[in-house]
Amino acid sequence: MTGTTSKTVFYTATTLDGYIADPADSLDWLFVQDIDADGPMNYDSFITGVGALVMGATTYEWIRARIADGREKWSYTVPTTVVTHRDLPPIEGADVRFASGDVAAVHAGLLAAAGGRDVWVVGGGDLAGQFADAGLLDEIVVAIAPVTLGEGRPLFPRRYALRLVEVERNRAFACARYAVLGPRTTDWAP
């Protein structure tokens, strides 16, 4: 959809019932799952092709909180843009940029920062949906965990047609790569 060699990809994990976080924005359900770090569709292989990241304020604040309490460090070496309408503090030593407004304008900067590599839409699902609505999301790569939450932050809160490109099993996860075809309302024809 982007028309360049770079792809814009929503790479994420979800519960079987389609949530990426619980109602308290926790990912505790994810960290107890069995996954092979070197298995199909693994993070390390994916991140080597990424030149820029984009995330929403909730995802950024979740990462900042985990850094503040010592549970993790900023692990990204590429420029990261946070789409927000709030003033948020930067993370020391990280290449974090803040943007607001239409994601189409943000996307142009992401492609420039990516330098021909892919753009990763880290989260959340609504932000990925905004890129899709602008015709700028190429793929959704999702690892589906064997757990349900019943409520929380939805994976992709839009009506879209996708095309399955690849499917693999990585221990407890069913992993799938989808091409984003376009929005659907009542017309589900290809």
Look at residue 125 and tell me if it is in a domain.
yes
Which pLDDT score is estimated for 3?
47
- Number of domains the chain is built from: 1
pLDDT band at 189 (very low <50, low <70, confident <90, very high): low
**Predicted TM-score of the model (pTM):** 0.95
Q: Structural domain of residue 20, as residue ranges?
A: 8-183
Closest CA to 99 of 80, 116, 118, 122: 80
Please state the φ and ψ torsions of residue 144, each to the nearest 5 degrees: -100, 120
Closest CA to 159 of 138, 188, 117, 121: 188
Choice between 184 and 153, residue whose per-residue pLDDT is larger: 153
- Residue range 92-103: mean pLDDT, rounded: 96
- What CATH number is associated with residue 44? 3.40.430.10
Look at residue 57 and tell me if it is in a domain.
yes
pLDDT band at 186 (very low <50, low <70, confident <90, very high): confident
Look at residue 188 and tell me if it is in a domain.
no
